[in-house]
Amino acid sequence: MQFLNSPPRFLFFTGKGGVGKTSIACATAIELSEAGKRVLLVSTDPASNVGQVFGIQIGNKITAIPAVVNLFALEIDPQAAAQLYRDRIVGPVRGKLPDAVVKGIEEQLSGACTTEIAAFDEFTALLTNDKLTGEYEHIIFDTAPTGHTIRLLQLPGAWSGFLEEGKGDASCLGPLAGLEKQRAQYKEAVDALANPERTRLVLVARAQASTLREAARTHEELAGIGLSKQSLVINGVLPKSEASEDPLAQAIYVREQNVLASIPQALKSLPVDIIELKPFNLVGLDALHLLLKDQVDATDTSKFNPIILQAPSLSTLVDEIAKDGHGLVMAMGKGGVGKTTIAAAVAVELAHRGLPVHLTTSDPAAHINETLNGSLDNLTVSRIDPHAEIERYKQHVMDTKGTKLDDAGRKLLEEDLRSPCTEEIAVFQAFSRIIREAGKKFVVMDTTPTGHTLLLLDATGSYHREIERQMGKGNTHFTTPMMQLQDPKQTKVLLVTLAETTPVLEAANLQVDLRRAGIDPWAWVINNSVAASNPHSPLLRKRAQNELHEIDLVANTYATRYAVLPLLKDEPIGVEKLLELSRPNKPTTS
């Protein structure tokens, strides 16, 4: 593996959820430890569980891994770190400021930016405190800070004073209120990250266009702020040997090889390692030892139990959706799970039944017209240009809040407006203009704002509360976009995921966030299920067995209703293939 050649002291693994960051970080830690190096493995990823991988309890303390000499691990709980961080900031003003103001501050501090900065606050000492970490030759981090967080920490200025004067916008500056006293330590940490002799960043992706595009964006963003020493690992690539006797495996192999042949230009200069898909769950030392090795023997299929899956299909959900004759359907979920495909499949099936449908997306990478690859009666398609909406929103904020600021304040506000929250708020405003159509037809939306953004919009005196204040005293009927999203009779949220541990956990976390915003997901959709595809390849059959636990977890723990969509031989592009996704499932036994 090239990313292990002459490894520096700090190794960071980053990538989208479900690509295998934790497993690769653990396997790397084992390999270095067994080479005689003292290694500290640190996880800051709420969706990963290093302790579970090694089969021991770790938690927020440095713990020796008994089965591996020289290996120690630490799990930073980002949610607990974020709560401590919030308490430190909100505590001094609680009881001194009106409850509504305190609640607004808490909501500003409720999102991913706060969690990430709080986690950075926790592991800064691991980058700068030699007394704490001097005995380790390598420190491996499962999940790196984003470029946005590092840019924020690099900016000069009196954050606390800027916020106390009420000049900041309600986006991502809130989390920075408590950073001023530690600015020197943060500078030292950021300098360590940017030093190629001390730090290497490993981008982890799958052989999928979406995850490689995400890796390319991460590479360019972090390289632009000084993190130049990077490698690319493409994980979970189906071996050619599995494709000989199984049409499904053959189709997957060809699809992945085509993606690998067209890696984004930004990534072509990086050292690239390919890790083959393994038939087993990556838990325990035996599995981790094999992860970085090629040509793992396929498991004998005679040892497998029969794969029995009886699960509702997408058509079952569409039957219920269609009864109302109109309404808003929102496909939500993390990147790479197939939201665009699911939104398009629901829209096409509704239109195929003779119902009027407007399908809309804000994802610049979704290429929804390519997914449809044609037209259909009763279906109209639109795309919200997020770049145009962001620029419109930024200009509005700078023309209003920005005119009251000095040059330093404008610089801080401009940086704040570069955050992911800005895109979500801007796109939500564009969606709001379309939502009203759902009273007369079906509106199906792909790529929607997160629960944190919805909380922020609703809790900081934005459009919804302002209209409620103005209209509440009279008898005038009114409906705001937020009210429509919170009304299950008008809006049905579909949480899209994969039958894998990390995507399911991420979807469950998103569900909690949405419920805090008063939005209860209507159904879960498990996409690209191998278990629902009746594979013959030994490796895919084992993968199918592993999926059954995650499907059961969704069906019996997380979801009120759910559907499972099979992994198809051909990509679901075009009206006919999309309709195939919504056909009733046949019970799978193999």
Residues annotated as catalytic (active site), given as ranges? 18, 20-23, 45, 502
- Whole-angstrom Cα distance, residue 274 to residue 170? 42
CB contact at 8 A, 210 and 257: no
Structure tokens at 79: 């949610």
- If one counts every other C-beta atom within 10 angstroms of the C-beta of residue 466, the result is 11
Residue 546's SS3 state is helix
Q: Determine the length of the chain.
A: 590
β-pairing, 272-276 vs 230-237, is parallel
Contacts of 303 (CB under 8 A, 6+ apart): none
- Whole-angstrom Cα distance, residue 349 to residue 575? 9
CB contact at 8 A, 498 and 527: yes
Calculate the alpha carbon distances from 446 to 10, 346, 443, 569 in Å.
38, 11, 10, 24
Which residues lie across from 35 on neighbouring strands? none
Residue 206's SS3 state is strand
CB contact at 8 A, 519 and 332: no
- Whole-angstrom Cα distance, residue 254 to residue 261? 11
CB contact at 8 A, 346 and 445: no
Structure tokens at 404: 């009251």
